[in-house]
Amino acid sequence: MDTTNQFCPNEDRPDYGRVGAGNIGVHSLKEKRCICHTCGRTFAIARGTPLYRRRLDHELIGWVISLLANGCPKQAIVATWNLDPRTVDDLWESSGEHSQQVHEATVAQNRMDLQQVQMDEIRHKVQGAVIWVAMALAVPTRLWLGAVVSLHRDKTLIVTLMEKVKAAALCRPLLLCFDGLSSYLSACRQVFRSPLRTGKPGRPRLIPWPDICLGQVVKQYAKCRVVGVERRLVQGSQALVDCLLTLSQRGGC
């Protein structure tokens, strides 16, 4: 049983959240429990994951989550393993919440030099409604920066997505690429600002990030088919854009 990635769950102790501090040991191999040698508290190794306090086999839980993530109908999973539909729904919900927590801990709290970010939206039709999913991807590493779901394709949706991108970005030269939706321009200029603190009372003035380049990729349609693509440089210098393209995707477009 590997305890190297475990930490003390006791929030009142100084070792809380410290990974690799050397204070976590094995308490019971049979029950898969760890112990913190600092406070003496024991806890399950699956604590904080969708496997915690589940009576189902952990391998089966992994199969169910994997099948759901790849579009397998819930009814097929229920019929195959004779599971309660509420159990499948609960596994699906808890795995989603856990994935979001992992994403926020590993991506949203660690700023990186993103160089180039591409954003887009997907129109998804569900029973009785249409939802929009806006997504962002860091081009150099193919890192998923986040997604936002809304019933409307409006500025609120785009601003929320921009805030996720900003949370993961260092204040360095950055190329943001998106489609022809006008909300992207105002959202970029609204979100990518930092307070200029002067020590004076009152709210500090917000100044835009330097070297932020904005590029649009507008598709041209004819008879419901894409017949051309127009690339526009909305903000920033062409020289800086060429440099960022070279660094992020070896000069590709």
Which tens digits make up the pLDDT trace of 76-128?
Answer: 999 999 999 999 999 999 998 888 888 877 776 778 899 999 999 999 888 88
Q: What stretches of 23-128 adopt beta strand conformation (E)?
A: 24-28, 33-36, 42-44, 116-126
The better pLDDT of the pair 23, 165 is held by 165
Residues in the chain: 253
Task: Give the Cα separation of 205 and 210 in Å (integer).
Answer: 15
Res 20: pLDDT:
75
Residue 241, helix vs strand vs coil? helix
Cβ of 149: how many Cβ atoms within 10 Å?
Answer: 12
Using only the alpha carbons of the chain, give its radius of gyration. Answer: 23
Q: Stretch 164-191: mean pLDDT, rounded?
A: 92
Contacts (Cβ under 8 Å, ≥6 apart) of 41: 8, 9, 10, 35
User: Do the beta carbons of residue 34 and residue 6 sit within 8 Å?
Assistant: yes
Counting DSSP H helices and E strands in the chain, the numbers are 6, 11
What is the percent of the chain where pLDDT is above 90? Answer: 47
Asked if CATH classification 3.30.420 holds for the domain at 116-249, the reply, yes or no, is yes
Which residue from 116, 185, 111, 121 is spatially nearest to 148, judged by alpha carbons?
A: 121
Enumerate the domain spans of the chain: 1-47, 60-110, 116-249
Q: Stretch 236-252: mean pLDDT, rounded?
A: 84
Cβ of 241: how many Cβ atoms within 10 Å?
Answer: 19
User: Do the beta carbons of residue 202 and residue 192 sit within 8 Å?
Assistant: no
Res 176: pLDDT:
95
- Phi then psi for residue 32, to 5 deg, are 55, 55
Res 12: pLDDT:
77
Task: Give the Cα separation of 45 and 49 in Å (integer).
Answer: 9
Question: What is the secondary structure of 188-239 as a DSSP string?
Answer: HHHHSEEEE--S-SSPPEEEEPTTEEEEEEEEEEETTEEEEEEEEEEES-HH
Q: Which helix (H) or strand (E) holds 131?
A: strand 129-138
Res 230: pLDDT:
85
The better pLDDT of the pair 41, 141 is held by 141
Strand partners, 235: 214
